Structure 1
Amino acid sequence: MDTPKIDCHVHIFDPARFPYPEDNFYKPAGHEIGTAAQLGHTLDAHGVRHALLVGPNSGYGLDNRCMLDAIAHSAGRYKGVAVVPLDASLAELQDLQAAGVVGVALNVALLGVDYYRAAGPLLERLRQLGLWAQVQVQSDELVPLKPLLVDSGARLLFDHCGRPDPTKGLGQPGFQALLGLAETGRAVVKISSLVKTSVQPFPHADAWPFVQALVEAYTPQSLVWASDWPFLRAPARIDYGPLLALFGRLVPDAAARRAMLWDTPRRLFGFAG
């Protein structure tokens, strides 16, 4: 695809320069490691101009230094989503914003619904600063949190198609809640990591109906593409090129594809040309 591209979900792991905290629950190793230099080579090989770096709970937990270092040395190529405690202050968030962070990760799929029931004050601070609340839920976890997210007024960015259960169809409550949030005008969904919404091998055809439903509900003006590189805990081999080719197959309309790959993420996250 000749369309200019932005990858809206990648992680950087560089334990040689930024060691993992000793008490972290999971330490990526081997092929899971992906340094800033390796990311740059991957993006260059596929014509991807920018990337949104997501601070991983795996490996680094609340330590954003590896991600912030990559942003600082990227000459504007990268922006970030940080991992912070629920009591992160307005000043701390402002410092992250000044360093190129555009949002904060709420990893409900990892930490659970109950943990984020207390996220109201954090969401209010994100709203004040215009930062994104990047939410990763799975199955029906969005249902109990939807009122909190809606009432907060914060901008909402959902990971990996909302991670619906591939065996429960389009009508499952969590996915219907995600589709309904399109009406707020401040929710965006990443078309990414179909492996997390599939019980079939690549190209994960059982996940395609969820993608099509999202395209219809959100339109390309509120959808972005992402790879989830370097494919942490992948159940089978994943390669960057086939992911891009699959996206082209799922979104055959050139104008819609350009919007999701370039125009929409550039507008939403403030990337330059």
Structure 2
Amino acid sequence: MGSERMIDSHVHVFDPLRFPYRTDTFYAPTGQELGTPARLRSVLDAHEVEHALLVGPNSGYGEDNRCLLDALDAGAGRYRGMAVVGNATTRGELAELRAAGVVGVTLNAALLGVEHYADAAGLLADLAALNMIADVQVVDDQLVELAPMLDRAGVRVLVDHCGRPDPGAGLDAPGFRELLRWGRCGRAVVKLSGCVKVSRAPYPHRDLLPYVEALVGEFGPDRCVWGSDWPFLRMSERIDYAPLLSLLAVQVPDGHDRRRILWDTPAREFGFPT
């Protein structure tokens, strides 16, 4: 990627020796899936990535944010965080997280279902009041169901993994149409990430190229960020960091646009010093 300054907008940390997983976790990452803060630091350094957004994982930790907060503290400004919280979390608790470097919370409808957030209106209103972000992960047409509540709250919205479109459903699928609408009205930011999660084709996932092009076209590079999804949980094939950076150069060939996606937009959205 040359001398471009870079921010990775979707990584996780797992450190079960220091922060044991919840006993009721639905999935416990292990072996090569482990991503301790030391391992993350070495990967980012090797690829000259200056900052990263640490996304609290449902795997392993759920609403236990201790590992995330520890990594934020040790990072001394290198990282920002997205926490996993319950819908009943108070504005005061959110403000404490914000003071620790957390810039928003996750809404993982892809895993938990849309109904899980039926009573989240107060949480979203508090996030909006604190200028924090709802980091939304959806599949299929879930965004159509979530959109009215997000709209009413006026909360900042960040959408994971290109909205996880189904390549077989086409660009006109209701969920993807809704995502493009959010791009046109400037109400959200989208992560160009997670292609391997939804692609039906091997790397470089050419079946997703029309979707990424549509997202960049409707959101614009000032509303797109890039994420690796390191350390790559539950993958059916080997994933490496450098090819993902090379993939972005295929998907977004314009160097100026790519610089905005890799640096300008995430620095602004997540509050990194420029």
* Cα distance in structure 2, aligned partners of 1:235 and 1:179: 29
Q: Superposition pairs for residues 1-273 of structure 1, below 5 Å?
A: 1=1, 2-273=3-274
Amino acid at match of 1:181: W
Deviation by residue 1:100-148 (Cα, 9 ceiling, x = unmatched): 0001000000000111122111100000000000000011111111111
Paired residue secondary structure (1:242): helix
Amino acid at match of 2:88: D
Assess if the C-alpha contact under 8 Å between 1:117 and 1:145 holds in 2: no
Paired residue secondary structure (2:89): coil
* Cα distance in structure 2, aligned partners of 1:186 and 1:175: 15
Per mean C-alpha deviation after superposition, the further-off stretch among 237-246 and 115-124 is 115-124
* Cα distance in structure 2, aligned partners of 1:47 and 1:93: 32
Paired residue secondary structure (2:69): helix
* Cα distance in structure 2, aligned partners of 1:152 and 1:100: 22
Per mean C-alpha deviation after superposition, the further-off stretch among 180-189 and 83-92 is 180-189
Specify every segment of 5 or more residues in structure 2 that has no aligned partner in the other structure, as ranges: none
Paired residue secondary structure (1:103): strand
Deviation by residue 1:14-43 (Cα, 9 ceiling, x = unmatched): 101110011111110011101000000000
Paired residue secondary structure (2:229): coil
Amino acid at match of 2:123: L
* % identical aligned pairs: 58
Paired residue secondary structure (2:116): helix
Assess if the C-alpha contact under 8 Å between 1:192 and 1:227 holds in 2: yes
Deviation by residue 1:207-265 (Cα, 9 ceiling, x = unmatched): 11110000000000000000000001111100000000010111111110000000010
Specify every segment of 5 or more residues in structure 1 that has no aligned partner in the other structure, as ranges: none
Amino acid at match of 1:127: A
> How far off is 1:50 after superposition?
0.1
Paired residue secondary structure (1:52): strand
Paired residue secondary structure (1:8): strand
Paired residue secondary structure (1:70): helix
Paired residue secondary structure (1:207): helix
Q: TM-score, normalised by structure 1?
A: 0.99
* Cα distance in structure 2, aligned partners of 1:272 and 1:90: 26
* Cα distance in structure 2, aligned partners of 1:246 and 1:23: 36
Question: How well do the aligned residues superpose, as a CA RMSD in angstroms?
Answer: 0.8
Amino acid at match of 1:110: L
Assess if the C-alpha contact under 8 Å between 1:103 and 1:134 holds in 2: yes
Paired residue secondary structure (1:48): coil
* Cα distance in structure 2, aligned partners of 1:58 and 1:166: 26
Paired residue secondary structure (1:34): coil
Per mean C-alpha deviation after superposition, the further-off stretch among 138-147 and 128-137 is 138-147
Paired residue secondary structure (1:181): helix
* Cα distance in structure 1, aligned partners of 2:161 and 2:139: 9
Amino acid at match of 1:235: S
Paired residue secondary structure (1:53): strand
Assess if the C-alpha contact under 8 Å between 1:63 and 1:83 holds in 2: yes
Amino acid at match of 1:46: H
* Cα distance in structure 2, aligned partners of 1:71 and 1:259: 24
Q: Extract structure 1 runs of 4+ deviating beyond 3 A.
A: none
* Cα distance in structure 2, aligned partners of 1:13 and 1:50: 18
Assess if the C-alpha contact under 8 Å between 1:6 and 1:265 holds in 2: yes
Q: How many residues align?
A: 273
* Cα distance in structure 2, aligned partners of 1:56 and 1:257: 27
* Cα distance in structure 2, aligned partners of 1:264 and 1:141: 26
